[in-house]
Amino acid sequence: MSDKQNRQFRPLPVPNVELAGLFGARQDAICNSTATTLLDRCVEAGMIKAIDVDQPSPGIVIPLQTWSGSTQMFWDSDLGKSIETIAYSLYRRPNAELEARADAIIDMYERMQEKDGYLNAWFQRVQPGRRWTNLRDHHELYCAGHLIEAAVAYYQATGKRKLLDIMSRFADYMITVFGHDEGQLRGYCGHEEVELALVKLARVTGEKKYLDLAKYFIDERGQEPHFFTDEALRDGRDPKNFVQKTYEYSQSHLPVRDQAKVVGHAVRAMYLYSGMADIATEYNDDTLTAALEALWDDLTTKQMYVTGGIGPAASNEGFTDYYDLPNESAYAETCASVGLVFWANRMLGRGPNRRYADIMEVALYNGAMAGLSQDGKTFFYENPLESAGKHHRWTWHHCPCCPPNIARLLASVGSYMYAAADNEIAVHLYGESKARVPLAGGLTVQLSQTTRYPWDGAIRFDVSPDRAAKFALSLRIPEWADGATLAINGAPVDLAPITVDGYARIEREWQAGDHVDLTLPLIPRTLFANPKVRQDAGRAALMRGPLVYCVETTDNGHDLNGISLSSNPASAKTTEIAALEGAVALDVAVTRETADWGSDLYRTTPPKGTPSTARFVPYHLWDNREPGEMLVWVRADQLRHGA
């Protein structure tokens, strides 16, 4: 472990990576539409009035629910994520009008901030006497976390410190409120988020005190006597009388190092594990890493959809039983897959490892990216793997957490592609891009990727250090990439002896003009589910590279459950679809049941099947054309495992 303990990989700042290709197109849509759309809809919802101290308090706009709160309590987080998205979009494409609107909101927050540093629209303007009285339910620290993330992003993108200074003052105040000293609260937030945000704040300011506060929140969680029980009693509430009836909902049922099963609200879990992974990296904490590895295995081997979607149930927006993965009713919230990308990326902080990066890629391309339409104007909250034709993107939501979450992820995705340690560059994700990577000793490396990935598996890296220097370049070889090849300056390299934890680690003296060619064969493949996943029995899913594929009515007509795979899809014909920005579709040989059923509901003779072809398109692009049915898991009556 000693080598791993000293390897700390941190993601590149967003401004250090310039994207083209598929991710670049998504970022252009965010610049063209989403960033402004988010702000416009925040205004329409009344969020700006809520923070404008020059106007009367709007009061309770969204009524209180059974949990004694309102989604209006989260408005600061929606504005925070929207400002974060705007920040990333401004780096890619300056927009003076949008920047001025963001500056005006930041000015309002500055005017609203209390002298002691406290900042929260709800608890200053709607329920001013209720500050810090119900951390279990009321999202105070969660809102602070999203505003901190916005502050860091806005500072990095524009150089403007105002929001960063505002949130630093709030974080300084938190340090006085929370802790073990007399008069302090031994508390933490019911909805985790502030932990990972404080790590970002520490990294950008260089102030270790913010790391220490994040570590405190993580270490304190789930300890006995239980803070949420004591808090409820102090507030005159019955600690057993709350909506979810279990501390598993907020992952506070046990101290975090004792947790081995992923439970509760999916987004909260992902944010907690992300913060834990950051603290494990910053403090070289093997006890946190060990707990996270157990939780990772629990999630990815028993509770995750093939798309990287997580949390099958609407009732708790989260986890149920092992292998309970229904398709049509899947909740699989966009925010949860975004959170899985966050967690996976942070698990790479202690060194490149394919087991995390492969899942990060799947969750990003499928579970998360499906949440934003091609034009950047409409959104999915839930992401089912089957639809009878009634599930479509919407323009806004009473709890609009997903639109700015997927937008800020895609607008900052360059920082998830690359990470740097003192003398090593890790490439976790592939896509047309240029990265500026600082290494130890003042060395800067310009790294360019030329590729059409994920549509084509040929990837060229041009490596240009500002002086000749020895360092390592680690390139992920996905588990599915059978037959991958590597060449350095045109000379083939045997992957086997240099592959460590699924990454080809190339350590050498690099100089300007060096280039590496990596080829990842994108052969369509069939996936079968564990038989314990009863909803997928007798069915199969198709993948090509990191992409999950589905069938839609648009290409295949109705009655998609009448389609059955009849041969291995490895030889499927590929076609570029102009309406989907050149995405690669798969035309696959299938058997299709003929419409000879008549008016019978049941009968003794099986349906007849005829050979046919079905068109599969990337799942993240479904519902971007004509509305209709959709199906990921298609019947595989004629296929045996491994056929």
Query: What is the distance between the alpha carbons of residues 384 and 332, in angstroms, rounded to a whole number?
Result: 7
- Find out whether 555 and 628 touch, Cβ atoms under 8 Å: no
| Residue 531 neighbours by CB distance under 10 Å | 10
CA torsion angle 130 77 359 528 (round to 10): 80
Q: Which of these, 435, 413, 252, lies nearest to 338 by C-alpha position? A: 413
User: Where in 413-555 does DSSP place strands (E)?
Assistant: 418-420, 424-427, 433-438, 444-451, 458-465, 469-476, 485-488, 491-493, 499-500, 503-510, 514-519, 525-527, 539-544, 547-552
The answer to whether 401 is a known catalytic residue is: yes
Give me the catalytic one of 193, 231, 248, 317.
317
Residue type present at position 261: K
The answer to whether 189 is a known catalytic residue is: no
Paired tokens of 128: 């001013």
Query: What is the distance between the alpha carbons of residues 390 and 369, in angstroms, rounded to a whole number?
Result: 20
- Find out whether 314 and 245 touch, Cβ atoms under 8 Å: no
296 CA to centre of own chain: 15
Paired tokens of 246: 């279990």
Give me the catalytic one of 401, 432, 550, 552.
401
Contacts of 224 (CB under 8 A, 6+ apart): none
Q: Tokens 């639109």 belong to which residue?
A: 403
Query: What is the distance between the alpha carbons of residues 643 and 636, in angstroms, rounded to a whole number?
Result: 11
DSSP class per residue in 63-98: ---TTS--GGGGHHHHHHHHHHHHHHHHHHS--HHH
- Kind plus residue range of the DSSP H or E element containing 19: strand 17-19
Q: Which of these, 273, 230, 258, 254, lies nearest to 136 by C-alpha position? A: 230
SS (H, E, C) 322-338: CCCCCCCCCCCCHHHHH
Active site residues: 317, 401
